[in-house]
């Protein structure tokens, strides 16, 4: 083999190794990201209900902070007391690898919040709307909150909340 051929082969192998390493690294990062998203404090809250939105192809868990859970168990949620926080955790739907008739959580999609403060959020039924971003709860401004609130109007008789507590 000529010296120039050796050089070319060496260069080719180096570039191939670099590309392979980069791919493996990227895939590892993606897998880590998918496996362990950053969640907020709701991870330690208790469960109110679950749902499967077939139109959106998402599975959800609705959790409540201590104030919300206590109110739900006493059936004193018309209205929910000030200080109640509801968290809606959303995953893209997936199927269980060993049981394809079972729809299970796939990739984490979002976590949204409703916070009850009848004075602070009086213009939106006493509810503030927000979402967890990188584990931190960020509230929407009034314009965005009014958009959220509009979708909750059909539930006026249930204090604007779609969830009916299933675990009480």
Residue 43 touches a copy of itself, criterion: CB under 8 A: yes
Q: Name the one range near a copy of itself by CB under 8 A: 12-20, 23-31, 97-105, 114-122.
A: 97-105
Residue 135 touches a copy of itself, criterion: CB under 8 A: no
Distances in whole angstroms, Cα of residue 37 to Cα of each of 1, 13, 132, 149: 52, 36, 12, 27
Give the tokens for residue 117. 């403060």
Q: Compute how many other C-beta atoms are within 10 angstroms of the C-beta atom of residue 161.
A: 22
Give the tokens for residue 168. 């009480």
Q: Toward a copy of itself, which CB reaches closer, 11 or 30? A: 30
Residues 6+ apart with CB under 8 A from 168: 72, 73, 75
Residue 120 touches a copy of itself, criterion: CB under 8 A: no
49: nearest Cα among 57, 61, 59: 61
Considering only 4, 55, 119, 143, the residue that binds a copy of itself (CB under 8 A) is 55
Residue 79 touches a copy of itself, criterion: CB under 8 A: no
Residues that bind a copy of itself (CB under 8 A): 36, 39, 43-47, 49-56, 59-61, 63, 89, 91, 96, 98-99, 101-105, 108, 154-155, 162, 164, 166-168
């Amino acid at each position: 083999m000529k010296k120039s051929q050796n050089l070319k082969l060496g260069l080719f192998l180096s570039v191939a190794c670099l590309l392979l390493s980069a791919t493996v690294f990227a895939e590892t990062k993606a897998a880590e990201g998918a496996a362990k998203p950053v969640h907020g404090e709701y991870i330690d809250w208790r469960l109110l209900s679950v749902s499967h939105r077939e139109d959106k192809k998402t599975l959800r868990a609705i959790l409540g902070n201590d104030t919300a859970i206590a109110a739900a168990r006493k059936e004193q949620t018309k209205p929910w007391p000030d200080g109640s926080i509801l968290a809606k955790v959303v995953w893209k739907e997936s199927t269980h690898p060993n049981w394809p008739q079972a729809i299970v959580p796939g990739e984490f999609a979002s976590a949204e919040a409703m916070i009850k403060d009848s004075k602070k959020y009086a213009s939106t039924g006493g509810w503030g709307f927000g979402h967890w971003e990188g584990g931190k709860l960020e509230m929407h401004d009034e314009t965005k909150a009014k958009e959220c609130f509009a979708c909750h109007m059909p539930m006026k008789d249930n204090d604007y909340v779609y969830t009916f507590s299933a675990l009480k």
